[in-house]
Amino acid sequence: MVFALSATSLCGAATYYVHPVHGDDTNAGTSPKSAFRTLKRASDVRLQAGDRVLLASGQKFTGQLALEGLSGEANQPIVISTYPSVNGGDESRAGIDAKGQIAGVFLKNCANIVVENLIITAKAGGENPASQALKGMRCGVLVEADQPGDYAGFKVANLVVKDVFFEEPGFIRPPSEVKSANGTQNYGWGIRFISTSPKARMRDITITDCRISNVCHTGLKLTAPGKGLQNVDVRRLVVENTGGPGVQMSGVQGGHFSELNVNGSGSTKDSRNWGRGSGLWTWGSDNVLIEKSQFRNANGPGDSAGVHIDYNCRDVIVQYNLSSNNAGGFCEILGNNFNCAYRYNVSINDGHRVKGVNGAFQEGKIFWLSGYTGHKSPLKGPYHSYFYNNTIFVSDENVARISVAPSARGVLVANNIFYFRGGSKTVTGDQGKRDIMRGAAPGNVVFSNNLFLDGHSWPADAPIKDQSPIVGNPDFKQGGGGDIKDYLPRNAGLVRDKGLRILKLPGDDAGLLGGLDLKTDICGSRILGLPDIGALELPPQ
Average pLDDT rounded to a whole number, residues 273-292: 98
Residue 67 β-bridge partners: 107
Contact call for residues 286 and 260 (beta carbons, < 8 A): no
Residue 75 has pLDDT above 90, yes or no: yes
Residue 68 has pLDDT above 60, yes or no: yes
Contact call for residues 451 and 416 (beta carbons, < 8 A): yes
Average pLDDT rounded to a whole number, residues 203-216: 98
Give me the pLDDT at residue 430, please: 76
Contact call for residues 486 and 478 (beta carbons, < 8 A): yes
> What separation, in Å, do the N-terminal and C-terminal C-alpha atoms of the chain show?
82
pLDDT tens profile 266-279: 999 999 999 999 99
pLDDT-based confidence at residue 161 (cuts at 50, 70, 90): very high
* 297 part of a folded domain: yes
Give me the pLDDT at residue 376, please: 86
Calpha distance 297→307 (Å, rounded): 11
Which helix (H) or strand (E) is 10 found in, with range? helix 7-11
Residue 195 has pLDDT above 70, yes or no: yes
Calpha distance 277→218 (Å, rounded): 8
Tally the residues of the chain.
Answer: 541
Of 222, 511, 521, 466, the closest CA to residue 340 belongs to: 511
CA distances from 218 to 10, 56, 126, 170, 501 (A): 43, 29, 18, 20, 39
Give me the pLDDT at residue 432, please: 59
Calpha distance 351→201 (Å, rounded): 37
Range of the domain at 375: 278-541
Calpha distance 255→220 (Å, rounded): 14
Give me the pLDDT at residue 329, please: 98
- The per-residue DSSP string of 111-179 comes to BSEEEESEEEEEE-----TTS-PPTTEEEEEEEEE-SSEEEEEEEEES-EEEEEESSPTT----GGGGG
Would you tell me how many other CB atoms lie within 10 Å of the CB of residue 80?
25
CA distances from 442 to 268, 380, 408 (A): 37, 11, 5
Please give the radius of gyration of the chain, using alpha carbons only, rounded to the nearest integer.
25
* 509 part of a folded domain: yes
Residue 123 β-bridge partners: 165
Calpha distance 245→120 (Å, rounded): 19
Calpha distance 391→411 (Å, rounded): 18
Q: What percentage of the chain exceeds 90 in pLDDT?
A: 89
Give me the pLDDT at residue 106, please: 97
* 340 part of a folded domain: yes
Average pLDDT rounded to a whole number, residues 237-253: 98
Give me the pLDDT at residue 438, please: 47
Average pLDDT rounded to a whole number, residues 275-300: 98
Q: Phi, psi (5° rounding) for residue 10?
A: -90, -40
Residue 235 has pLDDT above 70, yes or no: yes
Q: Phi, psi (5° rounding) for residue 431?
A: -130, 50
Residue 388 β-bridge partners: 343, 414
* 150 part of a folded domain: no
Average pLDDT rounded to a whole number, residues 228-256: 98
Give me the pLDDT at residue 126, please: 79
Average pLDDT rounded to a whole number, residues 6-33: 84
Calpha distance 536→516 (Å, rounded): 17
User: HEC profile for 11-31?
Assistant: HCCCEEEECCCCCCCCCCCCC
SS3 346: strand
Please give the single-letter amino acid code of residue 462: A
Q: Phi, psi (5° rounding) for residue 14?
A: -115, 155
Contact call for residues 317 and 332 (beta carbons, < 8 A): no
For β-strands 229-235 and 252-258, DSSP reports them as parallel
pLDDT tens profile 103-118: 999 999 999 999 999 9
Contact call for residues 236 and 208 (beta carbons, < 8 A): yes
Give me the pLDDT at residue 9, please: 39
Of 318, 324, 275, 277, the closest CA to residue 297 belongs to: 324
Q: Which residues are CB-contacts of 20 (< 8 A; sequence separation ≥ 6)?
A: 37, 38, 56, 59, 60, 61, 62
How many domains is the chain partitioned into structurally? 1
* 531 part of a folded domain: yes
User: HEC profile for 383-448?
Assistant: EEEEEECCEEEECCCCCEEEEECCCCEEEEEECCEEEECCCEEECCCECEHHHCCCCCCCEEEEEE
Average pLDDT rounded to a whole number, residues 149-175: 97
Alpha-carbon dihedral sign for residues 503, 506, 508, 509: positive
Calpha distance 432→442 (Å, rounded): 18
Burial 372-410 (b: 16+ CB within 10 A, else e): bbeeeeebbbbbbbbbbbbbbbbeeebbbbbbbbbbbbb
* 218 part of a folded domain: no
Alpha-carbon dihedral sign for residues 238, 230, 122, 77: positive
* 117 part of a folded domain: no
Residue 128 has pLDDT above 70, yes or no: no
Contact call for residues 411 and 445 (beta carbons, < 8 A): yes
Give me the pLDDT at residue 178, please: 95
Which helix (H) or strand (E) is 40 found in, with range? helix 39-43
* 70 part of a folded domain: no
Q: What percentage of the chain exceeds 70 in pLDDT?
A: 94
pLDDT-based confidence at residue 433 (cuts at 50, 70, 90): low
pLDDT tens profile 170-182: 999 999 999 998 9
The per-residue pLDDT of the chain, averaged, comes to 93
Which helix (H) or strand (E) is 495 found in, with range? helix 492-495
pLDDT tens profile 135-155: 678 999 999 999 999 999 999
Residue 262 has pLDDT above 70, yes or no: yes
pLDDT tens profile 309-328: 999 999 999 999 999 999 99
Give me the pLDDT at residue 540, please: 87
pLDDT-based confidence at residue 95 (cuts at 50, 70, 90): very high
Would you tell me how many other CB atoms lie within 10 Å of the CB of residue 204?
17
